Structure 1
């Protein structure tokens, strides 16, 4: 559903869209947010005049990546942040599209953004007075929410690396793969988001003040650091996965070696017992009372001799 917020001389409030269209000229700053899935989203956005058609199409596009594009008298900014806890569908990072011009911001999202509620509260508290404040607030809330999530990926990988030589279970390999996939997915949007924020902070826009540029640059720096951390996590997880694979292969090779040694020990014993078990005449000592125990003793001696040879040549060394 659409949300409309206005700031009139430091006093902020939420009004209906019809009321906004009737008294838009009285607000010193207004923010219109539309749900992209609603059929009337295009009508809601198009009721705000002076927007280029290219910006309107970009606002309503479903597939986006972070960017900042200056158009005519305004700027189109796409940002990505964590979605709400209730939304687990699609990409882990949710897009919000913003068209900013003098005294007005129009935003569209298709999925709930976790940063929306904190920014809305700041808007209603009267601390957001212009488009620069609003975009800087979104940038700050998004980066502050993402920072611990990315740090947690590194911490999880640290725990796995500390016990890497002690385990090679499929669950650990699956966890490493998930960490790597998450890092790749995050970095896909964090890296261009840094560029978008840097470009916006350097844009020649009258509604961007010095403090707004400072906050945008700070958010861009945090995005740069998070992108570097994600790249490190991606490379470390790839190395950890390779080490786990090597460890698993080593375990399988050792198991195969043990099976081979056991088979080699019993191979001559099987030959001997098979030879003496033939149902033909002429087998030596077949009718002696000690014959069975004699064969057992020979088998034990052969097994001990072969096992001792394997031990002496370090076949069973770890």
Structure 2
């Protein structure tokens, strides 16, 4: 559902979509956010004939990456942040596309963005007065929400590395793979998002005030730190995966060794019992009453001797 906000005389309020589309260049600051899957987004974009054609197409594009492109009197900004709900569809971060110009911002997203409601609340509270404030608010909300998520990835790896013996190798490898995949998905968009924010903070735009540039640069610095931490998480995940693979191989080798030792203990016993179990004449002491227990005693002695030899040679350590 589209939402339209108007900031006028120090106060903000929601207005209709038609009122937004009919506003003139000297009208107060306004912002419209549209759902890309609804016709409202196409209505807004189609009625904004003053925008460059490239910006019109980019606002409705479904596949985007974070960027900042200056076009004439405005700027096209794509940002990525956490979604309002974990639907498990598409990329882990949700994209929002913004066209910013003097006193007007148009934003489009195809999935709910978690930062949308806090930014809308700031707008209605009168703390967002121009396009620079709006984009800086989105950048700050996105980085503040992502910061603990990135930290949790590192904490998860810390728990796995400090307790490798408490979790089964299969479960630990699954958790490491999930953390690594999440880190790769986040870094894919956070790294270019840093570049986009830095480029916007240095842009020669009249609607960007000094405090807006400061907030954008601060958000860019946090993105840079998160990108570095995600890269460290990715490398640590690879090392943890290799360690878990080695641990699993060591466990399998030990199990195979135990099976081999047991087989070697029983191999001569099987030969002896098979030899005495042949249905032919001439087997010594076949009719003696003590013969069975004698064979059992010989087998026990052989098994004990072989096991003792394996223990003495430290095969089982």
TM-score by length of 1: 0.96
Instruction: Give the CA deviation at 1:280.
Output: 0.9
In the alignment, which residue of structure 1 is the partner of 2:43? 43
Alignment root-mean-square deviation, CA: 1.3
* Structure 1 counterpart SS, 2:195: helix
> Is the 2:96–2:108 Cα contact (8 Å) retained in structure 1?
yes
**CA–CA distance in structure 1, aligned partners of residues 23 and 79 of structure 2:** 29
Alignment of 1:154-233 (within 5 A): 154-233=154-233
1:245, 1:25 → 2: CA distance? 63
Tell me by how many angstroms 1:44 deviates.
1.4
Deviation at 1:86, TM superposition (A): 5.9
Whether 1:143 aligns to 2:113 is no
Question: How far is 1:90 from its partner?
Answer: 1.9
Q: Give 1:20 deviation, angstroms.
A: 2.5
User: Is 1:71 aligned to residue 65 of structure 2?
Assistant: no
Q: Deviations over 1:66-86 (max 9, x none)?
A: 000011111100000000026
Cα distance in 1 between the residues matched to 2:138 and 2:2 = 18
* Inter-partner Cα distance in structure 2 for 1:19 and 1:280: 108
Query: What is the alpha-carbon distance in structure 1 between the residues aligned to residue 284 and residue 194 of structure 2?
Result: 89
Alignment partner, residue 13 of structure 1: 13
Q: Note the 1:272-287 alignment, pairs <5 A.
A: 272-287=272-287
SS of 2:114's partner is: coil
User: Gapped runs of 5+ residues in structure 1?
Assistant: none
* TM-score, scaled to structure 2: 0.97
CA contact (8 A) 2:85 2:112 kept: no
CA deviation after TM superposition for structure 1 residue 26, in Å = 6.3
Quote the Cα distance in structure 1 between the aligned partners of 2:34 and 2:296.
Answer: 88
Which deviations, in whole Å up to 9, do the C-alpha atoms of 1:34-92 show, x marking residues without a partner?
A: 11111342221222242000000001000000000011111100000000026442221
Kept after mapping to 2: 8 A contact 1:34/1:45: no
- Aligned residue pairs total 317
Unaligned 5+ runs, structure 2: none
